[in-house]
Amino acid sequence: MIWDIVIKLVIAGAVFFFVLNLAGAHTWLERKQSAVMQDRIGANRATLFGQRLLGIPHSIADAVKMFTKEDFIPANADPFLHTLAPFLSVFFAMVAFAGIPFGDHLMLGGRMIELQVAKVDVALLYIFAMLSLGVYGVILAGYASRSNYALLGAMRASAQMISYEIALGAGIAGIVMIYGTLDLQEMVRAQGGLAWGFLPKWGIFLQPVAFFIFLTAALAETKRTPFDLPEGESEIIGYFVEYSGMKFGMFFLTDFVETILVACLATTLFFGGWQIPGLSVAGFNFFGHLIAVNPVIYALLGVMSFTLKVLIFCWLFMAIRWTLPRFRYDQLMRLGWQYLFPIAIANVVITGLILALVK
């Protein structure tokens, strides 16, 4: 019993540590990625013991700056709600990671350890629930700030969330129908093996339409360009316009954490999670030859595969962010309701028909 708790705590700690650090590293990656795309050098002024280290100290400098800045609450704002908003925002983004499986189970000392913080049967629903709750932080920030700009940002955020959550849910329905489960760990297991003998049974190959709906809607969830209307830095500055110091930092962090979360989800649902094509518990299948792999190494390889896929998605989101301009409010709604949603529904219907015919 005590061991179960300790193991869960260790896993939760590891995930927490990994996500927060990746979010920190993300600020650096984003700076460098945008610099590469824009023919610049990127941030490289901060030093650590006189070393520039390719600008990595900027992530630390950022954190120091955020923590030491004055925490300002506007005179007419509600201090309690104003303070609560960033916490809500970052909390729901963080707890959503509990449902993400980042590896197959690990056998250690006769104990089977699931590499997932919480084994929830409806992990997918749980994550979407947390994602949706996250918007409360944004709305609250807008309303509690007593600023017209923040209010506009919050309005945009809520409208965006409502329209995209539905497209997202309907898009995912196809994948749920194919794998027949809401348990993400089971879903990833179902993605092992090959379809028609040559393709990995990954979601993207079985449900390509669902993947693109998911990608678009998920980008909208992360509130980054081209869907950064709630922020809209050149129009309304955003829902966090009245925040300073670490409270602003928390919104900032939420952005990155949500990006990582969406990358994790995309990996889990469509890119086989921790699966490596050809690798199974029995060993690595190399053109018919089975090469045995130590179970611990097998589990670790899975974790590495998962991490790599997540990083690739993070990079993809960054590349999109620095390429596209921003949508307008009504254009965004039109895209969500008039294009994505009907396509998602059509996808569900067609998937259902095919499943019915195959069975």
Partner 1 sequence: MEQPQKTVQQQLETATRSYDPNTGLETRDMLLNIGPSHPAMHGIIRIVAKLDGETLKDIDVEIGYLHRAFEKMSETVSYNGVMPYTDRLNYVSPLINNMGYCMAIEKLLDLPVSERAHYIRVIMSEISRVTDHLTCVGASAMELGAFTVFLYMIKAREYLWELVEVVTGARLTISYCRVGGLKSDLPEGFAEKTHAAFAEVRKVLVEVDQLITRNRIFFDRMKGTGKISKEDALSYGMTGPFLRSTGVNYDVRKDFPYAIYDQVKFEVPLGTSGDNLDRYYVRMEEMEQSMRIVEQCLKQIPGGPVAVDPQTGKPMEASEMVDRAKMGQIDKITDKIAITDPTLEGSDSRVHDKILVSEKRVSLPAKEDTYGNIEGLMNHFKLVMFGHGIRPPKGEVYFPVEGANGELGFYVVSDGTDKAYRVRVRPPCFTIMSGLHKLLVGEQMADMVPTFGSVNMIGGELDR
> Binding residues for partner 1, per CB under 8 A?
34, 37-40, 148-149, 151-152, 155-156, 225-226, 228-229, 232-237, 322-331
* CA distance to 36, 103, 170, 187, per residue, from 274 (Å): 30, 5, 24, 11
Q: In angstroms, what is the minimal distance from the CB of 164 to partner 1?
A: 16
| Rounded (5°) CA angle 117-135-347 | 80
Q: In angstroms, what is the minimal distance from the CB of 148 to partner 1?
A: 5
Long-range contacts of 116-121 (CB under 8 A, 24+ apart): 116/11, 116/184, 116/185, 117/8, 117/11, 117/12, 117/15, 119/183, 119/185, 120/183, 121/182, 121/183
- Cβ neighbors of 294 (< 8 A, separation 6 or more) are none
Name the residue with tokens 């254009």. Answer: 331
Cβ-based nearer residue to partner 1, 205 or 329 = 329
Cβ-based nearer residue to partner 1, 155 or 314 = 155
- Write out the DSSP string of 243-308: --HHHHHHHHHHHHHHHHHHHHHHHHHHS-TT--TTEETTEEEETTEEEP--HHHHHHHHHHHHHH
The HSE-up count of residue 291 (CA atoms within 13 Å, CB side) is 8
What's the distance, Cα to Cα, between the start and end of the chain in Å? 43
Q: In angstroms, what is the minimal distance from the CB of 319 to partner 1?
A: 10
Residue 335 has what DSSP assignment? I
- Cβ neighbors of 293 (< 8 A, separation 6 or more) are 279, 283, 284, 301
Q: In angstroms, what is the minimal distance from the CB of 149 to partner 1?
A: 7
| Contact between residue 34 and residue 322 where contact means Cβ atoms under 8 Å apart | yes
Cβ-based nearer residue to partner 1, 111 or 328 = 328
Q: In angstroms, what is the minimal distance from the CB of 111 to partner 1?
A: 50
Q: In angstroms, what is the minimal distance from the CB of 37 to partner 1?
A: 6
Rg (C-alpha) for the chain, rounded Å, is 21
Cβ-based nearer residue to partner 1, 18 or 329 = 329
Cβ-based nearer residue to partner 1, 136 or 329 = 329
Cβ-based nearer residue to partner 1, 18 or 149 = 149
Q: In angstroms, what is the minimal distance from the CB of 131 to partner 1?
A: 23
Q: In angstroms, what is the minimal distance from the CB of 259 to partner 1?
A: 16
Distance CA 341, CA 198 (A): 32
Q: In angstroms, what is the minimal distance from the CB of 330 to partner 1?
A: 7
Cβ-based nearer residue to partner 1, 163 or 351 = 163
Cβ-based nearer residue to partner 1, 163 or 185 = 163
Cβ-based nearer residue to partner 1, 110 or 325 = 325
The HSE-up count of residue 137 (CA atoms within 13 Å, CB side) is 27
